[in-house]
Amino acid sequence: MNISSARGLAGILPARPSSFMPFAEIRTNIISGIVVGIVALPLAIALAIAVGATPIAGLYTSAFAGGFAALFGGSRYTITGPTAALVPLLTVVVFKFGIEALPLLGLMSGIFLFVMAALKLGRLMKYMPGLVIIGFTAGIGLSIAFGQLASFLNVTGTDPSYEHFHERMWDLIKHLNTIGWTTPLIGLLAVVIMLIWPFIQELSVKLKSIPPTFVALIVVSALVFYIHIDTPTVATRYGDLPGSFPKPTFDWFDIGLIIKLVPSAIAVSILMGVETLLTAVMADNLAGTSRRYKPTQELFGQGLANLIGPIFGGIPATAAIARTGAGIQNGATSRLSGVTHAIFVLIATIALGGLVGSIPMTVLAAILIVVAWRITSVPELIKMAKTAPRQDHLVLFSTLIITVTVDLTYAIAAGVFLSLILLLRQLTSIESARELQPDENGQIRQVSAELSKLMQQRRDIIFFNAQGLISFHSAFEFERRILEHDTRPLILRMKDVRYMDTTGMMTLETIIKSRHELGAGVMLSAIQPAVRLSLKKFGVIDLIGEENVFSGTALAIATVPVGTDSADDSNSDDGELPSAEIQPG
C-alpha cells in the first residue's frame, strides 16, 4: 500500500481511542445496547417479512450489518438494521426479481456507498430540501401502513402480482369479505398495548427501559399460544427458524442479475445515504454533543455493513432513527452500545429462534402500522399544511403522493426538481441590477454619503449597481434593465456581485458590445477579485479595455469630463488608472 492510499484509509477508518472508557460508562452503554436489542428484535422480524424476506434474514441483518456499521461508521450513536424507509424499494425489487435478489442488491448498494464516501457526497446532504425529506418520509409511512393491512386483517385470496398501489388497494377492498373477527381483534389488542404502555411507564421507573413493541409482542403471542387461537403465525407462514450461527455463503451471487439491479441499487444506496446521515444528525442533536459525526466515514461504515450482511444471510440495511434514539435515551455514549445491540440480537436469535415461530403475523403488522404512524408524523404534516407557504405545499404533498403511488426515487427527484423551480422563481424576483438613484432623503443608500454626493453631481453619467449572483436565472433581467437606458457613459458598480457564471458573463459581453455600437461608453468599478479573474479569463476585461476598469467608482467618475457623452474619449487624457486593488466603491 502506498503512502497516499494509507492516508486515505486512515481518514475513513475510525480513530483509535485515546483513553479507556470508565467502567460506569461501559456498563451504561452495554445496558443501552441490550435495550436497543430488545427494541430491534420485533422490528427486524416485522420489517424483513414486510419486504417478503424470512424473519431470520431480518435478525441476521441487525446482528451483522448492525455490528459492522457500529464499529466502522462515523457516528458513535447510530443503530443499523432493516428499516421502514427501505421497505417500498425492496418490495419492488422482490416483486420484479424475487427474494434471491436482495443479498446481491445489498452488496451492490454497499459498493455504491463506498463510491459516495470516496467522492465525499455526504456533504451534499445539507442541501436536501427539508420539505422533500418530510414528504417522502411521510409517504414511506403511509406505504408501510397500507401494505400491512392484509396481514393485520388476515385478508385472503388477494393477487400478489399487482405492483401498483391503486391495484393492490382495490384488490384488498374486493377481498374484505374474507376477514374473520379473530385476527383483527388480536392485532387491535397489540396496537392498544403499544399505545397505552407509555402511560403505564410513567407510573414506574423500572418499566422505562421496556419498549412497547416488545411488550405487545410477548403478551399477545403468549395469549395466542396458550389459548390456542387460530390465526396465522410466523411458523405457519415461514416454518421454524434455525437456532444456529449462520454460515457465510455467496450462493446468491448472480452475475447475470447485476446489470438489471443497477438502477435499483443506485436508488437504494441514495436512500441509505440520506437516511443514515439524517439519523446521524438527529443523534448528535439528541445527545447534545459537540463532537459531530463524520459523514464520509459514516457512509463508509454503512457500505461495509451492506457488504458483510448479505454474506451472513442479511438484507439491505441502513441506520434506524427510532432505534438510534432509543439508544441515546438509555444512555448510549459510544459505539459500544451499537455493538452490544448486534451481539444481543445474534445471541437471542440463536437461543430463542424456536419461539419466533409462535408470533402471530397480525402482531408484526400491528407493530409496523404503529411505526408507520410515527414516521408519517401526521401532526407535523397538519402544521405544515396550515403554516407553510402555498408553493411549499406543492413540494411537500407532491413528494408524499408520488412516494405512495409511484416510486420513492421518482418522488425524491420530483421534490428536488420542484424545490429548484420554486427557488429559481424566487431568485428571478430579486433585482440583479438597479439604477443608483437618491431616495426621499436625497441619499443613494448603496454607497457612502461622500460618494452619493459626487454621483448626484454627475447627471451626465448613468450609475448602475449590479448585485447578487449574475447567472442564468437573472441574466435576461440584468440585460433588459441596463440596455433600456440612453447613451450617456455607464458606470457599472460590481462590488455587490459575488459570482458570475458563463451565462452572466456572456450577457455582460452583449451589453458592452451593444453600447459600443451605439457609441456609448461602459466602465466597471469595484469588482470583487474572484469575479474579476473570471471576467479576465472569459475576455470581458479585454473587450472593455483595462483603461475602463477601476478599483473604485469615484476613480471612474474622475475620468469622465463634465458634459461628455462617452467615457472612451476621456481616458486618452487621463491615461490608465490602477485597478488591481478593491477600494470602497
Interval 174-223: pLDDT, tens: 989 999 889 999 999 999 999 999 899 888 877 777 888 889 989 999 99
Arithmetic mean of pLDDT, 463-486: 82
Q: Does residue 38 form part of some domain?
A: yes
Q: Kindly state the average pLDDT of the residues 534-560.
A: 92
Helix axes 502-517, 529-538, angle to 10 degrees: 70
Quickly state the pLDDT bin for 242 (edges 50, 70, 90).
Answer: confident
Name every residue whose Cβ is closer than 8 Å to that of residue 270 and which is 6 or more positions away in sequence. Answer: 409, 412
* Residues 362 and 452 both lie in one domain: no
Q: Are 364 and 469 found together in one domain?
A: no
Claim to verify: residue 404 and residue 464 sit in the same structural domain: no
Contact 512, 479 (CB under 8 A): no
409 with 437, same domain: the answer is no
**Cα dihedral 413→416→419→424 (10° resolution):** -100
- Determine, yes or no, domain membership for 8: no
**Which of 150-154, 280-284, 429-433 shows the lowest mean pLDDT across its residues?**
429-433
Do 215 and 188 lie in a common domain? yes
- Determine what percent of the chain is predicted with pLDDT higher than 90: 36
Q: What is the CATH number of the domain that holds 526?
A: 3.30.750.24
* Between 495 and 238, residue with greater pLDDT: 495
- Whether 412 maps to a domain, the answer reads yes
In the predicted structure, residue 295 carries a pLDDT above the cut 80: yes
State pLDDT tens for residues 365-397. Answer: 898 888 888 878 788 888 888 888 888 888 988
Residue 460 lies in a domain: yes
Q: Which three cell numbers stand for residue 452?
A: 452619493
Q: Is residue 96 included in any domain, yes or no?
A: yes
Q: What is the pLDDT of residue 509?
A: 92
Q: Are 479 and 557 in contact (CB under 8 A)?
A: no
- Range of lowest pLDDT (25-29, 425-429, 458-462): 425-429
One DSSP character per residue, 79-119 reads EEE--GGGHHHHHHHHHHH-TTHHHHHHHHHHHHHHHHHHT
311: phi then psi, degrees, rounded to nearest 5: -65, -30
pLDDT in tens, 258-269: 999 999 999 899
Q: What is the pLDDT of residue 126?
A: 66
- Alpha carbons within 13 A on the beta-carbon side of 168: 20
Task: Tell me the three state secondary structure of residue 496.
Answer: strand
* Amino acid 583: pLDDT: 40
Label the pairing between strands 433-435 and 318-320. Answer: unpaired
Question: What pLDDT is attached to residue 572?
Answer: 33
Q: What is the pLDDT of residue 525?
A: 92
Q: For residues 413 and 468, state if they share a domain.
A: no
Q: What is the mean pLDDT of residues 297-311?
A: 95
DSSP 543-567: HH-GGGEESSHHHHHHTS-TT-S-H
**Both 314 and 460 in a single domain?**
no
Q: Are 51 and 100 contained in the same domain?
A: yes
| Whether 291 and 411 share a structural domain | yes
Asked whether residue 584 is assigned to any structural domain, the reply reads: no
Q: For residue 474, tell me if it sits in a domain.
A: yes
423 pLDDT band, cuts 50/70/90, is confident
Q: Which of 359, 392, 421 is the last residue before a domain boundary?
A: 421
Between residues 461 and 375, which one has the greater pLDDT? 461
Q: Is 437 helix (H, G, I), strand (E, B) or coil?
A: coil
pLDDT per residue over 43-53, tens digit each?
Answer: 899 899 989 89
Domain boundary among 387, 421, 455: 421
User: Is the model's pLDDT at 116 over the cut of 50?
Assistant: yes
The string of pLDDT tens digits covering residues 549-577 is 999 999 999 988 876 444 343 333 333 33
Residue 230's Cβ-count burial label (10 Å; 0-12, 13-18, 19+) is: exposed
d(CA 138, CA 400): 6
Check whether residue 464 and residue 540 sit in a common domain: yes
Residue 336 has pLDDT above 90, yes or no: yes
Choice between 99 and 355, residue whose per-residue pLDDT is larger: 99
pLDDT for 435: 81
Tell me, what's the pLDDT at 368? 85
Q: What is the structure's pLDDT at 565?
A: 47
Average pLDDT over residues 153-167: 82
Mean of the pLDDT values across residues 82-110?
92
pLDDT of residue 563: 61
46 close to 87: Cβ distance less than 8 angstroms: no
Residues 180 and 313 in one domain: yes
Question: Are 398 and 415 spatial neighbours (Cβ–Cβ below 8 Å)?
Answer: yes
Q: Report the pLDDT value the prediction gives residue 17, as an integer from 0 to 100.
A: 47
> What pLDDT is recorded for position 537?
93
Which residues form the domain of 447? Answer: 433-574
pLDDT at 485: 63
Report the pLDDT averaged over residues 523-546. Answer: 92
Residues 124 and 209 in one domain: yes
Last residue of some domain: 398, 421, 444?
Answer: 421
Across the chain, mean pLDDT equals 84
Task: Classify residue 5: in a domain, yes or no.
Answer: no
Where does the pLDDT of residue 447 fall: very low under 50, low under 70, confident under 90, or very high at 90 and above? Answer: confident
Count of the separate structural domains present in the chain:
2
CA distances from 156 to 86, 151, 173, 183, 232 (A): 26, 9, 11, 12, 11
